[in-house]
């Protein structure tokens, strides 16, 4: 992708059609590479806005804890979390990167995303930590946990984190597959607190929006088995949504 490609933001104008739209000449050489870059730019912009808004919510409400990210490919959202933590002077915060660092496991369920196959979306530990170090914010507070979640999210690790007395402040669940999400929800259950924000990145991705498949299915099952309740918070693009954790015995079960 050359640097002379032009991408467009939504800007208003004082006549029909009231927003500036690229004409046929502007898109004459538009192809698949441009489409991918355009989508990624828009998606990452939405995610960065979510992190900005959510760290403001968390700090204003005095929610204290750590950052957990499950699925850390290319360190994109992880760097967003580090940046916002620095902007809010959260020097005591710890940042946990949970990932196989070998890409996705072999899916056991069908998805509509062809690239979600074993080994896809691989970022190694060395690549990840290199990006963290280069970014420069709170690198000493980052801990990686390597392995597929059914193997790495052990009761010993969970017990160690419970024993520390620290809780989760913000959790990003970006693990694409139902079989990956189930152990994640089980692992985080005792580490939640009132005010924890959970961002589910692929709530509507990979299964044509079906709540009976993928991460959405795992989340609904988790809600039926936990004491925690979940208040819908922010939408992140078309693909994700965040929730605020709270306790209320009178609340209905199962929200998306």
Backbone angles phi, psi at 110, to 5 degrees: -75, 140
Domain contains 34: no
Give the chain's domain count.
1
Domain contains 79: yes
Mean pLDDT of 70-78: 94
Domain contains 13: no
Cα–Cα distance, 19 to 201 (Å, whole number): 29
Percent of the chain with pLDDT over 90: 76
Q: What is the mean pLDDT of the chain?
A: 90
Q: What is the pLDDT of residue 106?
A: 62
Domain contains 87: yes
Cβ burial of 177 (10 Å; 0-12, 13-18, 19+) is buried
Mean pLDDT of 233-246: 97
Model confidence at 255: pLDDT above 80: no
* Between 182 and 206, the higher pLDDT residue: 182
* CATH code of residue 154: 3.40.50.150
* Bridge pairing between strands 168-173 and 142-146: unpaired
Model confidence at 116: pLDDT above 60: no
Mean pLDDT of 32-44: 93
* Between 74 and 82, the higher pLDDT residue: 82
Mean pLDDT of 109-128: 68
């Amino acid at each position: 992708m050359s640097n002379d490609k032009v991408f467009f933001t939504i800007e208003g104008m004082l006549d029909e059609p009231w927003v500036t739209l690229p004409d046929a000449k502007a898109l004459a050489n538009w192809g698949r590479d441009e489409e991918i870059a355009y989508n990624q730019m828009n998606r990452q912009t939405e995610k960065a806005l979510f992190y900005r808004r959510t760290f403001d919510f968390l700090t204003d409400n005095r929610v204290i804890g750590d950052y957990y990210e499950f699925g850390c490919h290319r360190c994109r959202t992880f760097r967003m979390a580090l940046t916002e933590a620095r902007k809010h002077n959260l020097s005591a915060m710890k940042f946990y990167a949970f990932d196989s660092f070998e890409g996705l496991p072999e899916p056991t369920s069908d998805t509509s995303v062809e690239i979600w196959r074993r080994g896809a979306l691989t970022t190694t530990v060395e690549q990840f930590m290199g990006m963290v170090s280069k970014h420069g914010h709170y690198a000493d507070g980052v801990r990686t946990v390597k392995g597929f979640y059914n193997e790495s999210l052990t009761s010993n690790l969970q017990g160690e984190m419970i024993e520390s007395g620290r809780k989760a402040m913000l959790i990003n669940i970006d693990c694409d597959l139902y079989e990956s999400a189930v152990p994640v929800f089980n692992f985080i259950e005792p580490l939640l607190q009132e005010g924890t924000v959970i961002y589910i990145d692929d709530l509507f991705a990979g299964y044509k929006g079906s709540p009976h498949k993928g991460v959405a299915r795992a989340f609904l099952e988790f809600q039926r088995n936990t004491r925690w309740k979940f208040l819908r918070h922010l939408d992140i693009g078309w693909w994700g949504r965040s929730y605020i954790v709270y306790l209320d015995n009178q609340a209905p079960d199962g929200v998306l």
